[in-house]
């Protein structure tokens, strides 16, 4: 997909030439977008082009960006309102839309190490889970600390017909508190969630198979991070089925590994992908900023 255009540069009176190219990386899943400077306001043509690519590929990679917090927020805001995360100790003081994933902390935020080191989709424990997340790399280790992504359309499409039929109308419970406490148990930098914070994230029920509201494609919508039980099944039977679906979802053929460089911005569609952090040597600094775009109720 190519979009070229020559436009008058209103400021300089010269000619500004911009060309965006979208190159698929992993089959249809994941594309690298080149030729766009996200620090600049995007006009509607460019925005629509990027939005179409986002729906087509689910994950977009933009390399070599240099963004202020305001610019990161402004780009994210083109896709919708932004979430303010429940765990306030990771939010940038003057920019609560930005969640800081830094192993040294930043501006008083709590350090976080391997924060998402389990397969998940962000904040699916909300009644309206996010549409997507926009993760910007400020500082990355020379090796390790990659992020893995998997395609949940492919996970659904490659199930056998019998399993598809079995799960069609099942519902699942998503929960934040258990995962948070589990991660906190060996991380002194995580303060326990307060009763007020826990009250903000009660259990929610979502369909197991989700129809994407914009593409109409079906995706498997369960994740190891936050999906704790199947409503219609007995505990053991539900757990066995979830285990089977989790491992099916992350088979290597469906997984893309993002090797970060500082200045990378990766945005993912949270409705049809999962991701997980990987380990790295903690002598290295790793600092990322995430914004999270509000979504709608899964159907
Ligand atoms: C996230 C996340 C993984 C990573 O930003 O939501 O899970 O590798 N990040 O930092
Ligand atoms: Mn995450």
Which CATH number fits the domain that encloses residue 212?
3.60.130.10
Tell whether the model's pLDDT for residue 277 goes beyond 70. yes
- DSSP classification of residue 72: H
- Asked if residue 260 is part of any domain, the answer here is yes
Tell whether the model's pLDDT for residue 8 goes beyond 60. no
Q: Which residues of 186-203 are buried (b: 16+ CB within 10 A; e: fewer)?
A: eeeebeebeeebeeebee
Q: How far apart are CA 132 and CA 195, in angstroms?
A: 27
State the pLDDT at residue 4: 43
Give the residue from 24, 20, 22 showing the smallest Cα distance to 46: 20
Count of C-beta atoms within a 10 Å radius of residue 6: 10
Give the residue from 87, 86, 67, 198 showing the smallest Cα distance to 135: 67
- CA-nearest residue, atom 2 of ligand 1: 116
Residues with catalytic function: 120, 122, 275, 290
pLDDT-wise least confident of 141-150, 181-190, 288-297: 181-190
Tell whether the model's pLDDT for residue 154 goes beyond 70. yes
| Mean pLDDT in residue range 39-61 | 96
| Mean pLDDT in residue range 157-161 | 98
Tell whether the model's pLDDT for residue 71 goes beyond 50. yes
| Mean pLDDT in residue range 111-125 | 91
- Angle (CA) 158-162-165 rounded to 5° is 95
The two beta strands, 255-258 and 95-102, are: unpaired
pLDDT in tens, 93-102: 999 999 999 9
- Angle (CA) 181-138-136 rounded to 5° is 70
Ligand 1 close to Cβ of residue 135 (< 6 A): yes
Is residue 24 a contact partner of residue 31, using CB atoms and an 8 Å limit? yes
Q: How far apart are CA 295 and CA 97, in angstroms?
A: 15
| Mean pLDDT in residue range 262-280 | 97
Q: How far apart are CA 44 and CA 36, in angstroms?
A: 13
Residue 246 belongs to domain spanning: 2-293
SS3 173: strand
- Asked if residue 26 is part of any domain, the answer here is yes
| Mean pLDDT in residue range 271-287 | 96
Task: For residue 216, give Cα distances in angstroms to 97, 153, 209, 245.
Answer: 29, 11, 12, 21
- Asked if residue 298 is part of any domain, the answer here is no
Ligand 1 close to Cβ of residue 112 (< 6 A): no
Q: How far apart are CA 147 and CA 276, in angstroms?
A: 6
Ligand 1 close to Cβ of residue 277 (< 6 A): yes
- Asked if residue 198 is part of any domain, the answer here is yes
Beta partners for residue 204, in sequence order: 174
- Asked if residue 39 is part of any domain, the answer here is yes
The pTM (predicted TM-score) of the whole model is 0.92
Domain count, the chain: 1
Instruction: Provide CB contacts within 8 A for 200, sequence distance 6+.
Output: 86
Is residue 208 a contact partner of residue 265, using CB atoms and an 8 Å limit? no
Site to substitute for ligand 1 among 85, 90, 101, most atoms within 8 A of C-beta = 101
Residue 262 tokens read as 């500082």
- Asked if residue 103 is part of any domain, the answer here is yes
Phi first, then psi: give them for residue 280, nearest 5 degrees.
-160, 165
pLDDT, averaged across the chain:
92
Site to substitute for ligand 1 among 118, 135, 143, 285, most atoms within 8 A of C-beta = 135
State the pLDDT at residue 12: 37
SS3 198: helix
- Asked if residue 299 is part of any domain, the answer here is no
State the pLDDT at residue 18: 61
Tell whether the model's pLDDT for residue 112 goes beyond 70. yes
């Amino acid at each position: 997909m190519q979009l070229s255009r020559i436009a008058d540069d209103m400021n300089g009176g010269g000619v500004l030439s911009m060309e965006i190219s979208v190159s698929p990386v992993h089959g249809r899943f994941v594309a690298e977008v080149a030729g766009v400077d996200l620090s600049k306001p995007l006009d509607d043509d460019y925005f629509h082009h990027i939005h179409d690519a986002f729906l087509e590929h689910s994950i977009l990679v933009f390399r070599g960006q240099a963004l202020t917090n305001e610019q990161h927020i402004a780009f994210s805001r083109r896709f919708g309102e932004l979430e303010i995360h429940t765990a306030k100790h990771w939010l940038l003081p003057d920019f609560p839309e930005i969640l800081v994933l830094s192993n040294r902390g930043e501006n008083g935020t709590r350090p976080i190490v391997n924060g998402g080191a389990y397969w998940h989709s962000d904040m699916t424990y909300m009644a309206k889970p996010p549409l997507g997340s926009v993760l910007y790399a400020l500082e990355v280790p020379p090796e390790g600390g990659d992020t893995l992504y998997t395609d949940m359309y492919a996970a659904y499409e490659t199930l056998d017909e019998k399993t598809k039929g079995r799960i069609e109308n099942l519902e699942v419970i998503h929960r934040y508190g258990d995962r948070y406490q589990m991660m906190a148990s060996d991380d002194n930098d995580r303060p326990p969630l307060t009763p007020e914070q826990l009250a903000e994230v009660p259990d929610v029920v979502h369909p197991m198979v989700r129809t994407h509201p914009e593409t109409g494609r079906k995706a498997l919508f369960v994740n190891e991070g936050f999906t704790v039980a199947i409503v219609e099944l007995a505990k053991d039977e539900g757990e066995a089925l979830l285990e089977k679906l989790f491992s099916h979802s992350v088979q290597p053929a469906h997984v893309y590994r993002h090797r970060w460089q500082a200045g990378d911005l990766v945005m993912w569609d949270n409705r049809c992908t999962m991701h997980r952090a990987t380990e790295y040597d903690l002598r290295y600094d790793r600092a990322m900023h995430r914004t999270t775009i509000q979504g709608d109720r899964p159907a």
